[in-house]
Each structure stands twice: as structure tokens, then as C-alpha cells.
Amino acid sequence: MTDEQRPNDHERHAREDDHDERSEVDILRDELRAASERLAVLEADHQACLDKMLRARADLENTRRRHAAEIARAREAGIDAVVLPMLAVYDDLARALQAADSADPASIVPGVRSVRDTLERSLEGIGVTRVGNVGEAFDPGHHEALAVVPAGEGREPGVIAEVFEAGFVRGERLVRPARVVVVDPA
């Protein structure tokens, strides 16, 4: 090689190195630009997901509030359904007391029996039935024995002889046990 060629080679290598450097810088800039674009897309996706999550959370809270209000309304309607029949009993008792004030108090007994029967029908209407009648077999699952009397004439062992408080069941569930006196089963 001649001396003239050597600087040219050196210049050519310098130009190639310069070209390689610019190419690497350009490549790095392109990669940075692509990474920045991917980051922007991911940030937009993240924001969209966050917005969806916040909307879903708000919908859930609204649904919870709506259901709580519906439950409260249903509870109130249930109480009203029980109270309304009792108000009829209240009115019947008020009329019986008015009749007792103006007439013989003994004359109200048939009216009071009628009120009790109306009340029992109202309770049956909501699925509550009476348990614990005289002559019925004693059942510790439905009856509470307050006392035991000896068996004798007309008293069958193991049955209810007297009822202090009637018991009530709703379906299979005991609402209140009957408080009774039982004939001694022994």
C-alpha cells in the first residue's frame, strides 16, 4: 500500500466507525422511541382498567345500597303484614270493652272468644299454629311442663291436663313452647 492509500483507509475506517456510531445511536433512539410508545400504550391500558375497576366498584356499592333498601322495605312490609291482622283484634277488643261498660260484663265472653278465634285465624294465615291443647300427648319438643299431677279418673298418663300458655309453631320451627301441666306418666 502506498502512503496515499493509508490515510484513505484510515479515513474510510473513521467514516465506517462514524457510520456505525450513528447507526447505533439511531438504533438506540428508535428503541427508546418504541419503548416510550409501548409505555404510553400500557399507561393508557392501565388507566382504562383503573376506570373500569372504579366504575365496577361504584356499581357494586350502588347495588349494595339498593339491596339494603329493598331488604328494609321488605322487612317493613312483613311487619305490616303481621300488624294489620292484629289491629283487627285490637278493634274487636275495644268494642268488647265498650259493650262491657254498657251491659253485663258476662255478656262480653262470647265476643272475647270470637276475638281469640279471629286472632288464631290471623296467625294461621301467616303460618303460625297453636300447640299444646288439653288431652294432647306431652311432647318436650313443643311443651314445657310446669307441674305434674297424678293420674286418676279421666286423666290419661302422659297427656296435658291444663294449659297455662298456648304454644305456637311456624312450620317446623317452635316459636314459643306451650306451658302446661302434665298427667304423671309413671
pTM to 2 decimal places: 0.55
Provide the residue-wise pLDDT of the chain in tens; the chain has 186 residues.
555 555 555 555 555 555 556 688 889 999 999 999 999 999 999 999 999 999 999 999 999 999 999 999 999 988 888 777 778 788 887 877 777 777 676 777 877 888 888 888 888 888 889 998 998 999 999 999 999 998 877 778 889 999 999 899 988 899 999 999 999 877
What's the structural domain count of the chain? 1
- What domain range includes position 158? 127-186
* H/E run at residue 24: helix 5-102
Residue 174 lies in a domain: yes
Dihedral (C-alpha) 44, 46, 48, 54: value to the nearest 10 degrees? -150
Whether 20 maps to a domain, the answer reads: no
User: Residue 123 has what pLDDT?
Assistant: 85
How far apart are alpha carbons 132 and 169 in whole angstroms? 10
Whether residue 91 is contained in a domain is answered as no
CATH number, domain containing residue 134: 2.30.22.10
